[in-house]
Amino acid sequence: MMFRVFVLGLSLALLRPGAASATPSTCPKPTGAADALARLDRLESSKLAWGRGVQVTRDGQPVPAEACLLLRRGDLVETGANVTVVIQFAEGLVLLMPNTRVRIGSIWTYFGELFSFGRVKLQDRYVTAGAEGTSYVFRSDPQGTTVTVLQGHVRVTPEQEAIAAQRLESGQRVVVSPNATPSAAPNLTRISPAEVSEKLQSYQALTGYSAAELAFLEQGFTKLIGRPRNTASLLVQGSFSFGGGGAAMEIGASSLALAWSHRFPVPGAFQFGSRLQGGATFGRYRSPVTDEPTKRAEAANAGSARLPFQGAFAKLDAELGRNLGLWTFVGSLGLRGGWSHQPDVTDDGANAFVWGPALSARTEYALARGFQGLFEIELSVQKTPIAACPIDCNGPAVPLDSIWQAWLGFAIGVGVDL
């Protein structure tokens, strides 16, 4: 994540709504290297901006707050009584008000008040506030966390997993108490449009950016879809075919699969991306041309006419999901293909390539932070290789022409955010 930090020395009198803004910094952008995620810069020449006014701590040691100082992941930035700090992320801006302490990386707040403009996520020990293209105020103190939305939408997720996440809109304010219980009603209130407008203008002025510059930055933040979400999953699947090719066939299959999905958040709590899945499959099917006497004989011999198969498969999907608190609903459309081996079939037909389109719907439930339980239903159509078992199944089965089969599958599993 690339971002830069600007420091603005202000007197308490300048922290009134409508205060004049300073000239934005001319510091070059940070390189984005692991040890140079941000730069610290002065907007005005003021002794209040250094020393006790703003402090930077790295690995437990103080670092002189000099113009364009490179900041690393894990650095602590703390403002004094008369200083505000602007942090520019690729996703937006964060304004640290006086007497605020945060950790660089994402913005982890120890105490204080922050104004977020864009798509920046803010956290403390009580909640995580994830923006969807917005302006909001985040205040953290021992009594809890207050989130006030001034523009757009914010998803507030309490650290107490039993308390449901909430999606706030402009003009809404929520207070999350550390002593809140799952049965307690959310402390949700509304503020007047006049107060929303006044607060928004006040905080925007303190960033040091003009209205035109903020509008330009907002366009860039809007085009930047947001932080991608990468999830690895382990799934156990079961599926069966329900006919095709003019033959009533009994086919069942089981699979063990690994999946990796890559989704970007987009406005409206939606997520768009792709998913790659692969695994091993095995199952049995009844030969479509076995006569009734042979079926009876086969049944007496433990059903040897149910010819086994095994193989491997891969599937690539395009996905669209919608997040609703602890639940995420995902639909996908893709192409499935793989290799099938039938050990009881003659050598010239034992191996075959199978493929076809697949449509699936998946539900993800947040079991814990970063972990999901998955349930998936998949409908697919694929070209399936089949073979005919000879009379009494006393020899290798004979391969037949592949037929198009419709399959219905179910899967359960677990996912881990990477």
Identify the pLDDT of residue 90: 65
pLDDT band at 160 (very low <50, low <70, confident <90, very high): confident
| Mean pLDDT of the 11-21 span | 35
Please report the sign of the dihedral spanned by the C-alpha atoms of residue 63, residue 65, residue 70, residue 74: positive
d(Cα 86, Cα 97) in Å, to the nearest integer? 9
Identify the pLDDT of residue 266: 66
Identify the pLDDT of residue 86: 80
Identify the pLDDT of residue 344: 77
Of all residues in the chain, the percent with pLDDT exceeding 70 is: 69
| Mean pLDDT of the 44-73 span | 69
The yes-or-no verdict on residue 57 having pLDDT over 80 is: yes
The yes-or-no verdict on residue 278 having pLDDT over 90 is: yes
Highest mean pLDDT among 18-22, 279-283, 299-303: 279-283
CA-nearest of 392, 164, 202, 199 to 299 is 392
pLDDT band at 149 (very low <50, low <70, confident <90, very high): very high
Identify the pLDDT of residue 14: 34
pLDDT band at 268 (very low <50, low <70, confident <90, very high): low
The yes-or-no verdict on residue 303 having pLDDT over 60 is: no
At position 293, the amino acid (one-letter code) is: P
pLDDT, tens digit (0-9, with 9 covering 90-100), for 177-212: 877 666 555 688 999 989 999 998 898 888 877 777
Identify the pLDDT of residue 283: 83
Identify the pLDDT of residue 10: 35
The yes-or-no verdict on residue 70 having pLDDT over 70 is: yes
Which pair of structure tokens corresponds to residue 30?
């940070």
pLDDT, tens digit (0-9, with 9 covering 90-100), for 358-407: 999 999 988 876 788 999 999 998 887 777 766 556 667 777 777 788 88
Please name the residues in contact with 181: beta carbons below 8 A apart, sequence gap of 6 or more.
Answer: none
pLDDT band at 114 (very low <50, low <70, confident <90, very high): very high
Burial class of residue 96 (count of CB atoms within 10 Å of its CB; 0-12, 13-18, 19+): buried
- Listed range (10-14, 143-147, 301-305, 400-404) with the worst mean pLDDT: 10-14
Q: What is the mean pLDDT of the chain?
A: 76
Identify the pLDDT of residue 12: 31
- Listed range (63-72, 309-318, 353-362) with the worst mean pLDDT: 63-72
d(Cα 126, Cα 123) in Å, to the nearest integer? 8
> CA 67 from chain center: how many Å?
36
Burial class of residue 389 (count of CB atoms within 10 Å of its CB; 0-12, 13-18, 19+): buried
**Is residue 126 left, alpha or beta, with left meaning phi > 0 and alpha meaning psi from -120 to 50?**
alpha
The yes-or-no verdict on residue 4 having pLDDT over 60 is: no
| Mean pLDDT of the 215-240 span | 72
Domains, in order of start, for the chain: 4-223 (2.60.120.1440), 229-417 (2.40.160.20)
pLDDT band at 254 (very low <50, low <70, confident <90, very high): confident
| Mean pLDDT of the 87-113 span | 83
**Unique residue bearing structure tokens 């073979």:** 387
Contact 84, 95 (CB under 8 A): yes
Better pLDDT: 205 or 219: 205
Phi, psi of 187 (to 5 degrees): -80, 75
d(Cα 235, Cα 256) in Å, to the nearest integer? 6
| Mean pLDDT of the 75-87 span | 83
Contact 224, 91 (CB under 8 A): yes
Identify the pLDDT of residue 24: 45
- Distances, alpha carbon 372 to alpha carbons 20, 48, 197, 258, 363, in Å: 48, 48, 39, 14, 9
Burial class of residue 36 (count of CB atoms within 10 Å of its CB; 0-12, 13-18, 19+): middle
Please report the sign of the dihedral spanned by the C-alpha atoms of residue 33, residue 34, residue 37, residue 39: negative
pTM score? 0.50
d(Cα 215, Cα 207) in Å, to the nearest integer? 13
- Listed range (1-15, 50-64, 337-351) with the worst mean pLDDT: 1-15
Identify the pLDDT of residue 5: 44
**Residue burial 111-143, b: 16+ Cβ < 10 Å; e: rest:** ebbbbbbbbbbbbbebbbbbbbbbbbbbbbeee
Per-residue H/E/C for the chain: CCCEEEEEECCHHHHCCCCCCCCCCCCCCCCCCCCCCEEEEECCCCHHHCCCCEEEEECCEEECCCCCEEECCCCEEEECCCEEEEEECCCEEEEECCCCEEECCCEEEEEEEEEEEECCCEECCCEEEEECCEEEEEEEECCEEEEEEEECEEEEEECCCCCCCEEEECCEEEEECCCCCCCCCCEEEECCHHHHHHHHHHHHHHCCCCHHHHHHHHHHHHHCCCCCEEEEEEEEEEEEECCECCECCCEEEEEEEEEEEEEEEECCCEEEEEEEEEEEEEEEEECCCCCHHHHHHHHHCCCCCEEEEEEEEEEEEEEEEEEECCEEEEEEEEEEEEEEECCCECHHHCEEEEEEEEEEEEEEEEEECCEEEEEEEEEEEEEECCEECCHHHCCCEEECCCEEEEEEEEEEEEEEEC
Better pLDDT: 288 or 338: 338
Identify the pLDDT of residue 172: 92
